[in-house]
């Protein structure tokens, strides 16, 4: 089968590789869409932290946002899974350690991450092996495009839940990229007043095209009362800013990662009695994201700029964009094309 393989920093190619066979408790999925995100771009550039810690090494087969159809089932798997449309969790815990038993399998020290950690192959390929326990079935209203957006949507949903904002309250989202915009959409669906803060005028203009009228490149003056702040940016100064802007006694959620260490003054955290929450992965948010998409409460399709074949993945990862794509942040890959 064809698969996209990163062989070193800035080097990648589509290769013919052995197709996967399902092991016990596994299925093989025919991939219909796979999303490209910042983590994938870091693997391509060589900046991904796991490459330095040894949790990942070249060659790497990326792709952890995906949707497809189950084509093969392994021993111990209900045959009814065959032919079902699915997406799935990126985080594959061992299932036996204390964290896994307690429901925190996404933090398992020995976990695999599909297309990311410990060599589990990713979804930029025609077929993908997945443990059946990680699967999430997709209802008919959730097409492959929406299915590939479930993983980022699950991340965003977990961030909104952690923000703990009620209908009518005011949420600030820092960073109007895919995760930030999804968090904003989900919050609006729950009746929250959303404001977006970013540094790029074009990304904020795109946010306004989606109906978000309260957008900022600098904090508003006079200061507004933000009942929660979600930092979905890559700016190293954003965590400290989030802490300054949040209302005392409320929540700041960190889901973005900066390339350099980011600092926040814990004295402000204590004196404002703020709760700080970190969110890693969509685990625990996948089913909720599917429900939001299936019901029509959230429609993330406008976030998709284009769908391209595997042969164009390297160009996308290097940051190339066609003018016709506009300013939507997400690029999808269809491994069946070309």
Q: Per-residue pLDDT tens for 171-200?
A: 999 999 999 999 999 999 999 999 999 998
Fold of 2-149+300-333: Quinone Oxidoreductase; Chain A, domain 1 (3.90.180)
For residue 260, what pLDDT is reported?
86
For residue 17, what pLDDT is reported?
98
- Spatial separation of the C-alpha atoms in residues 183 and 167, rounded to whole Å: 14
- Spatial separation of the C-alpha atoms in residues 228 and 137, rounded to whole Å: 32
Q: Model-level pTM?
A: 0.97
Consecutive sets of 10 residues in the chain, 338 residues long: mean pLDDT of each? 98 98 98 97 96 97 98 98 98 97 96 98 98 98 98 98 98 98 98 96 95 95 94 96 97 93 93 98 97 98 98 96 96 95
- Spatial separation of the C-alpha atoms in residues 90 and 66, rounded to whole Å: 9
Which CATH number is associated with domain 154-278? 3.40.50.720
Structure tokens at 284: 């625990």
Beta strand 193-197 with 170-174: parallel, antiparallel or unpaired? parallel
- Spatial separation of the C-alpha atoms in residues 162 and 144, rounded to whole Å: 28
Tens-place pLDDT, residues 289-337: 999 999 999 999 999 999 999 999 999 999 999 999 999 999 999 999 9
Residue spans per domain, the chain: 2-149+300-333, 154-278
For residue 111, what pLDDT is reported?
98
CA-based torsion, 284, 289, 292, 294: positive or negative = negative
Using CA atoms of 174, 180, 183, 185 in order, give the dihedral in degrees to the nearest 10.
Answer: 110
Q: Using an 8 Å Cβ cutoff, are 232 and 256 in contact?
A: yes
């Amino acid at each position: 089968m064809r698969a996209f393989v990163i062989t070193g920093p800035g080097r990648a190619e589509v290769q013919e590789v052995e197709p996967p066979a399902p092991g016990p408790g596994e299925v093989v999925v025919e991939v219909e869409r796979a999303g490209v995100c910042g983590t994938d771009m870091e693997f391509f550039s060589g900046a991904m932290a796991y490459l330095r810690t040894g949790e990942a090494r070249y060659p790497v087969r990326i792709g952890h946002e995906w949707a497809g159809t189950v084509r093969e089932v392994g021993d111990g798997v209900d045959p009814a899974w065959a032919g079902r449309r699915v997406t799935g969790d990126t985080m594959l815990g061992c299932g036996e350690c204390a964290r896994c038993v307690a429901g925190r399998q996404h933090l398992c020290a020995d976990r695999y991450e599909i297309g990311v950690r410990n060599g589990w192959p990713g979804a930029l390929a025609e077929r993908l092996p997945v443990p059946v326990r990680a699967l999430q079935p997709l209802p008919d209203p959730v097409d492959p495009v929406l299915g590939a957006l479930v993983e980022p949507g699950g991340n965003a949903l977990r961030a909104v839940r952690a923000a703990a904002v009620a209908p009518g309250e005011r949420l600030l989202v820092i960073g109007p990229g895919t995760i930030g915009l999804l968090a904003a959409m989900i919050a609006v669906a729950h009746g929250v007043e959303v404001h977006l803060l970013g540094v790029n005028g074009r990304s904020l203009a795109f946010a306004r095209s989606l109906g978000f009228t309260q957008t900022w490149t600098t904090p508003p003056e006079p200061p507004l009362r933000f009942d929660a702040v979600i930092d979905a940016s890559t700016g190293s100064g954003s965590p400290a800013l989030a802490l300054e802007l949040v209302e005392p006694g409320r929540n700041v959620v960190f889901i973005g990662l900066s390339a350099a260490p980011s600092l926040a003054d814990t004295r402000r955290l204590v004196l404002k009695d703020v709760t700080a929450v970190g969110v890693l992965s969509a685990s625990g948010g996948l089913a909720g994201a599917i429900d939001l998409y299936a019901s029509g409460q959230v429609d993330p399709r406008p976030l998709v700029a284009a769908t391209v074949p595997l042969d164009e993945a390297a160009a996308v990862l290097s940051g190339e964009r066609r003018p016709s794509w506009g300013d939507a942040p997400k690029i999808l890959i269809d491994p069946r094309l070309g």
